[in-house]
Structure 1
Amino acid sequence: MSSDETDDVLPKEDEMFKTKKDKYKVIALLGKGGYGAVYSVLRLSDMEKFAIKCEKATAGKKVLLMDCNVMKGATQIKSRHFCTVLDRANVKDRFNFIVMKLIGKNLWDLRQDRGDGKFTMGTSLKAASQCLVSIEHLHSFGYLHRDIKPGNFAAGRKESNEHHVIFMLDFGLCREYVKRAEGKDLRAARTTAPFRGTTRYAPLASMLQQDQSRKDDIESWLYMVVEWTSGGLPWRKLKAHDREKVLQYKQDLRTKPDILDDFLFLCPKKEFTRILKYLDTLGYYAVPDYKFIYFCVQHAANANKIKDADPLDWDPETPYMGPIEQPGDGKVIDLEVEGGASTKDFSKRNAKEKDQSDETRKGKKKTSGSPNKERTSSKN
């Protein structure tokens, strides 16, 4: 069956469907990937706008279950950086869906809106702090993201007064790194592991086809933060199929001072170098010191005379009113997951997964050369 034929099962504009809780009307398509699509909808009981994430009933990999488990953890610790599943249902033989908060532009698009293609230092470091906190929260639920990039973080909507809050998105490549059923021990590292993520931001472990761990999400976070601080990465002109060349750049910046200088152009060099060197000391089983990394970001803010009230670039007339919070210690919380995701079934499913690279992932939507443009589970 062609992708066009399978897309026929997904919602259409103005289509209405109901759940046990409410009735919804589709407004517009927000993004599409191989798993399904995301739409804005109107809840007819109060005419409030929400988002629905749909996956085709025939989808080989079910992503909504992972979304539900992650967001259950976020609700449990009252994290502000994740959407909440408000409703869920299915349309028989067509698609399953969850209803969640509608949010605003992702951080890739917000950076592209800037004339110089980069955030100011204040916005860069405030966004870096919020994203770091959300990563620590995700890790405390027992999950790795494995595709940290600007397109997978978004600001809230101004209409809901959340436009200074950054939300983490897209949990389609998440993996549970603990064996919850066996006392929350870490899963042993596999001998080899398929590539996961987006070439531009992927950590060394993923590019070397090694199993990823908590430090690797933070390595991707650093590449992302450097990009929106400086306006670009040294390997920005390379494409997804140039993975070996991108890998060489990432290895060289650790051994060649000129490459490191190019990488940290316009960035707080002292603090970002300290973070990079610290991450490179960590092994697969290490618990990152999230508070130390946060301290480095705050030190950079102080050195650059950034104040807590300095506005964000996408709301320059309003003093910053987003969260100012430190990350925790990453300790894994007790969480009742759905679908046996922490049992042997989950391990078997992951063992059978094929390499999910930028090039091979199905259903990719063209995005004018951007590795971040979509805010859905389409991995570019």
Structure 2
Amino acid sequence: MQSSDEGEDPLPKDEEELKTKKDRYKVLKLLGRGGYGAVYSVLRLSDSEKFAIKCENASAVRKSLYMDCNVLKGAAQIRSRHFCTVIDQAAVKDRFNFIVMKLIGKNLWDLRMDTPECRFSLGTALKAAAQCLISIEQLHRFGYLHRDIKPGNFAAGRVESNEHHTIFMLDFGLCREFVKREEGKIRTQRKSAPFRGTTRYAPLNSMLELDTGRKDDIESWLYMVVEWTSGGLPWRKLKASDRDKVLRFKKELRSKEEIIEDMYYNCPRKEFHRILKYTDSLDFYSQPDYQFVYFCIQHAATANKIKDTDPIDWDPDVPYIGPIEVPGDGKVIDLEVEMRMSAEGSNNKTKKEKDSMKRQKKKEEKEDAKNRTKKREAKKSEKEKKEKTKKESSGANASKKSAKKT
């Protein structure tokens, strides 16, 4: 294929044909777009089967498709049903790289908004919560943190493939490997880390710009589950830019009864708050007890007389046929990771790309250093204020004593 003209969007056009070593695909329509690139539906020309392709600009500094391939390789290794399989992959020279995956249905945000009250029934909320928890435990088993758990990053399968009761985890662009595979141990916790994720669902540690671990993905999962169960979170009216205000809400959730009451409105409060207190008891290095969290969900279902066969909201006329599983222990498995895409055409990093990645790394290191400097200056300023207040207080006391003597 020819390179795109300078200034043109390098990503696929409608009706464009993409060729790989295995097959040919015709682009049907754009499904979604973000900082990572874009997702399209495509038709495989050899058998007219529909798939999705995730594309990434060839000039992108951060090659997130490598992360997708590694995560999905881990999913295939344990035969997970909550991750899409990579069917094919290739590169269109000087334009974009892409992977071909299973096509799925609506994400959980859209499915919730389709309901009359913009919230799931309790039975659907708990079934979806259990499936999403399973996928998080499996992701951690591959050795990765998601760092952007939210309803838009989970979707139901398609009716056509009879997977519309199964939930799939999506978008691994912000994932981070939390293990050093060559050493077989957890990475050392960083003193600080730039904010990653979505403000509404971000865990407390991420909001405080601290390094996040496995427990933090579960905290984000809980915020997501509460939202689709109750219809909203206490900080629902705040924008992404109101991070300080959202942070205050999340801190007060740990102590203020009125915030706790608002948080768990229409929810099984006892079980959900128990999960939050449990995640708060863990640290960066902790391996969460996923089965305990799952037990809390199952206890809420039993207490509310919810059956495994009760229908789900997006398919109300038939009994539930989705997977019913118990999570594993999260123990990290051995996994070979790809450092480059094995795709048609040359897709190795050029000197220009390597230099660009080095610049990006330096930029991130500079940002980290700047954040640390800000924190030191803030501490210093706070200390100076306290010393000044102390001196003023001492001066005032001395004046009072002098006045008494007079």
User: Normalised by the size of structure 2, how large is the TM-score?
Assistant: 0.83
Could you tell me how far apart the structure 2 residues matched to 1:27 and 1:317 are?
Answer: 31
Could you tell me how far apart the structure 2 residues matched to 1:6 and 1:111 are?
Answer: 39
Equivalent residues in 2 for 1:153-164 (5 A)?
153-164=154-165
Deviations 1:225-247 (A, max 9, x none): 00000000010000011000000
> AA paired with 1:145?
H
Match of 1:248 in 2: 248
Match of 2:21 in 1: 20
Could you tell me how far apart the structure 2 residues matched to 1:47 and 1:318 are?
Answer: 29
Deviations 1:242-289 (A, max 9, x none): 000000000001011111010000000110011011111001111100
Equivalent residues in 2 for 1:175-186 (5 A)?
175-183=176-184, 185-186=185-186
Could you tell me how far apart the structure 1 residues matched to 2:306 and 2:361 are?
Answer: 43
> AA paired with 2:38?
A
> AA paired with 1:311?
P
Deviations 1:10-47 (A, max 9, x none): 10000112100000000000011122110000000000
Q: Which has the larger radius of gyration?
A: 2
> AA paired with 1:116?
E
Could you tell me how far apart the structure 2 residues matched to 1:7 and 1:187 are?
Answer: 41
**Structure 1 segments (4+ residues) deviating >6 Å:** 345-351
Match of 1:299 in 2: 299
Q: Secondary structure at the match of 2:242?
A: helix
Match of 2:103 in 1: 102
> AA paired with 2:321?
M
Distance apart, 1:181 and its partner CA: 1.1
CA contact (8 A) 2:66 2:340 kept: no
User: Is 1:227 the counterpart of 2:232 in the alignment?
Assistant: no
Distance apart, 1:351 and its partner CA: 7.6
Match of 2:313 in 1: 313
Going from structure 1 to structure 2, the CA distance change for 1:26 and 1:340 (only over 3 Å counts) comes to: closer
> AA paired with 2:19?
K
Stretches of structure 2 lacking an aligned partner (at least 5 in a row): 342-353, 369-406
CA contact (8 A) 2:155 2:168 kept: yes
Alignment: residue pair count: 349
Could you tell me how far apart the structure 2 residues matched to 1:159 and 1:319 are?
Answer: 17
Q: Secondary structure at the match of 1:221?
A: helix
Distance apart, 1:353 and its partner CA: 3.6
Deviations 1:196-216 (A, max 9, x none): 000000000000000000000
User: Is 1:92 the counterpart of 2:104 in the alignment?
Assistant: no
Could you tell me how far apart the structure 1 residues matched to 2:336 and 2:48 are?
Answer: 33
Deviates more, 1:29-38 or 1:239-248: 29-38
What percent of counterpart residues are identical? Answer: 72
User: Normalised by the size of structure 1, how large is the TM-score?
Assistant: 0.89
Q: Secondary structure at the match of 1:97?
A: strand
Could you tell me how far apart the structure 1 residues matched to 2:309 and 2:362 are?
Answer: 47
Higher helix share: 2
Going from structure 1 to structure 2, the CA distance change for 1:333 and 1:193 (only over 3 Å counts) comes to: same
Match of 2:275 in 1: 275
Distance apart, 1:340 and its partner CA: 8.2
Equivalent residues in 2 for 1:103-142 (5 A)?
103-142=104-143
Going from structure 1 to structure 2, the CA distance change for 1:311 and 1:270 (only over 3 Å counts) comes to: same
Going from structure 1 to structure 2, the CA distance change for 1:84 and 1:348 (only over 3 Å counts) comes to: farther
Could you tell me how far apart the structure 2 residues matched to 1:258 and 1:135 are?
Answer: 30
Match of 1:60 in 2: 61
Going from structure 1 to structure 2, the CA distance change for 1:36 and 1:305 (only over 3 Å counts) comes to: same
Deviates more, 1:308-317 or 1:6-15: 6-15
Distance apart, 1:115 and its partner CA: 1.2
